[in-house]
Structure 1
Amino acid sequence: MTGPLPAPGLTGLFIGTVPPGLYRLPPTETASRVISLAAEADWRVATLPLGGVADKAGFLDRCAAALDFPQWFGRNWDALADCLMDLSWWRDESKARGYLLLAEDWDAFRKAAPKDARTAETILADAVDYWADGESPLAALLG
């Protein structure tokens, strides 16, 4: 489901030569560099720090807090999908060329809760597919 970011990497993602997708963050890249490159390309970035998250409840709580989800977020898989299909919580008045969700410490979460991580990946992949053909696509990097 999740694959490596194809060449030319982040630059290609942000200029549109690499299709938006659900990718592994290249090990040579840092969160600060990703955020900087995204900002230069007029992409909005939301960072999801997953350090210490070991289950579904923790993952959904972290999503709600770190991504500043709306009050109606129900802390379940369906509500996560709803938030990722309706990015109004993330948008502001200015137009972005794209949206990037950067999940940090994904491998630790995946090891602690493999089934929950697979479900979350499926939801992320569905959201990325949903926004793929829009003016402002969604991409996700799992670091």
Structure 2
Amino acid sequence: MTDYAVDGTGIRSKRAMFTSLAGALSFPDWFGHNLDGLYDCLTDLSWLPEGVITVVWTDSTVLAAADPAGYAGIREVLDDAVEGFATPGRSLAVVIS
């Protein structure tokens, strides 16, 4: 199992969250910094080592307070990606606090 940390203390917009996730998970250059692109990257992750990939997002309440709609969209994509993950040899988990 490998944890990929996203420190939410400075994340106050959906765009900032895209940037943080892209950095934490080493998204490829083609990531479009939008919800569809986020889903596409999260359900692939073939560039990461095999095993359980756990995204640990701390202080998520900062984004929830600053950008409620952005937070809701990100949460929905994270939930959908966990359900739709289909890369052999890997699984996706998300921990949000």
Deviation at 1:69, TM superposition (A): 1.0
TM-score scaled to structure 2, two decimals? 0.87
Cα distance in 1 between the residues matched to 2:66 and 2:55: 21
- The answer for the alignment partner of 1:87 in structure 2 is 45
Deviation at 1:136, TM superposition (A): 3.5
1:125 aligns with 2:74: no
Partner deviation per Cα, 1:17-64 (whole Å, 9 max, x = no partner): xxxxxxxxxxxxxxxxxxxxxxxxxx1111111211111111111222
The 5 Å alignment of 1:7-22 reads: none
Over aligned residues, Cα RMSD in angstroms? Answer: 1.7
**More strand by percentage:** 2
Point out where structure 1 has 5 or more consecutive residues left out of the alignment.
Answer: 1-42
Q: Which has the higher contact order (CA 8 A, sep 6+)?
A: 2
- The answer for the alignment partner of 1:109 in structure 2 is 63
Point out where structure 2 has 5 or more consecutive residues left out of the alignment.
Answer: none
Structure 1 moving runs of 4+ over 6 Å: none
The aligned length equals 96
Q: What is the SS of the residue equivalent to 1:78?
A: helix
Deviation at 1:135, TM superposition (A): 5.4
Cα distance in 1 between the residues matched to 2:35 and 2:90: 24
Deviation at 1:67, TM superposition (A): 2.1
- The answer for the alignment partner of 2:35 in structure 1 is 77
Look at both structures and tell me which one has the larger radius of gyration over its CA atoms.
1
Q: What is the SS of the residue equivalent to 2:95?
A: strand
Deviation at 1:107, TM superposition (A): 1.2
1:49 aligns with 2:7: yes
